[in-house]
Structure 1
Amino acid sequence: MTKVKICGLKRKEDIEYVNKYLPDYIGFVFAESKRRVSVELAESLKKNLSPEIKTVGVFVNEDLESLLETIKRLSLDCVQIHGDESSMYIEALKEKLKGERKIEIWKAIRVKDGDSIEKMSEYNVDAFVLDAYIEGAYGGGGKTFDWELASKAKEYGKIILAGGLNIENVKEAIDKLAPFGVDVSSGVETSGYKDGDKIRDFIYKARS
């Protein structure tokens, strides 16, 4: 079954919603964004998170030592690398995490065209998050991209589809691509805040 990630949690109400409807993953954004949270706030929110839900930290061009400190402090299950990080950066991170409990590394790819997909071959990671390319932004734009490109991406590894997903299109996306996971943020919000009913409906549609 396709995994579901609800990203950009920042309030205690958001934690209550996900505890009720149990997505597979939730995401805390530590990069520049309207959904950005401090490590202190994420730590406070995570204390009340259901242990059934895995925690993903989203980072953009983060200093490696700072990243490792956050992973350790929050006991993150996954790290989503969402900037211009090189394959060398990923390999250095993997080396630093050796001997620790298993922490997944996901690399976000901003999909513009076929060249974006071919770039995936440079990385050896646990999964790829495919998001729409938006000039001057690293994600979170709520825009879809050509899903035909996503189907080609599957040869490079597990695919987590992001970018413009919502209650209306998530079932079509899963039927068409059968991705490892789907990742939603603005698609389950109303007026910029997470909406419990939309989270419930999104998860239901993704799992039906």
Structure 2
Amino acid sequence: MTKVKVCGIRRQEEALWALEAGVDAIGFVFAESKRKIDVESAALISASLPSHVLKIGVFVNESKKNMEEISRIVNLDYVQLHGDESVQFCNNLDLPFIKAVSIKEKEDLDGIEHFGGEMILVDSGKGPHRGGNGTTFNWDYVHALNTPQRLILAGGLNRDNIREAITKVRPYMVDVSSGVETDGKKDRRKIEAFIREAKSV
């Protein structure tokens, strides 16, 4: 069964909705974004989550020192690197990490296997932001991928396309943010519907 991550959680009740719906991972955005959360709030939400739910912090071109500090305070299981972090930077980190790769063209996947870590995230490169744009990419691109990492699929996923996405890509985990929002805020019914649909594939 495909695992589900809900990213961009900012309030305790949003985390609770996701938890009750059967979420496997919660994402906190610490990079500049409309979904950015402060460290103290993330730490409070994190402390309320059971140990089986992964706590993942999203960073863009952040310093190693800051990531280590935030990771310690919030008790993160992984840092998700959504910037221009090099293979060397990633593999020198003393933290469990997930490298996110933005895909516009098939060539954007070149060299993806050189990043270490247990998981790698593929996201759409279309849109103004580093993630959370609500846009998809051509899922056929990942068919030829043969990486040692577990694959996380992100980018424009919602209740209506998640079945097709999982069937085509067969990812280890799917990552949703804008697809479970209404007017820029997390929507309980959309979270429940998305997780239910994803878990039923």
Scaled by the length of structure 2, the TM-score of the pair is 0.94
Match of 2:103 in 1: 111
Instruction: Give the stretch that moved more between structures: 49-58 or 83-92.
Output: 49-58
SS, match of residue 47 in structure 1: helix
Match of 1:7 in 2: 7
SS, match of residue 109 in structure 1: strand
Q: Count matched residues.
A: 200
* TM-fit CA distance, 1:44: 1.8
SS, match of residue 100 in structure 2: strand
Q: Distance in 2 between matches of 1:76 and 1:154?
A: 28
* TM-fit CA distance, 1:46: 1.8
Match of 2:47 in 1: 47
Note closer, same or farther for the CA distance 1:19–1:156 as it changes in structure 2 (3 Å cut): closer
Match of 1:132 in 2: 124
Cα deviation digits, residues 151-171 of structure 1 (max 9, x gap): 223445321110000000001
Match of 2:179 in 1: 187
Scaled by the length of structure 1, the TM-score of the pair is 0.91
Match of 1:90 in 2: 90
Q: Distance in 2 between matches of 1:44 and 1:157?
A: 30
Gaps of 5+ in 1: 98-103
Q: Distance in 2 between matches of 1:153 and 1:58?
A: 24
- Percent of paired sites with the same residue: 41
Gaps of 5+ in 2: none
Equivalent residue for 1:199, pick from 177, 191, 196: 191
**Aligned-CA RMSD value:** 1.4
Match of 1:163 in 2: 155
Match of 1:65 in 2: 65
CA contact (8 A) 2:15 2:26 kept: no
Equivalent residue for 1:177, pick from 169, 173, 189: 169
CA contact (8 A) 1:22 1:53 kept: no
Equivalent position amino acid for 1:64 in 2: K
* TM-fit CA distance, 1:136: 5.0
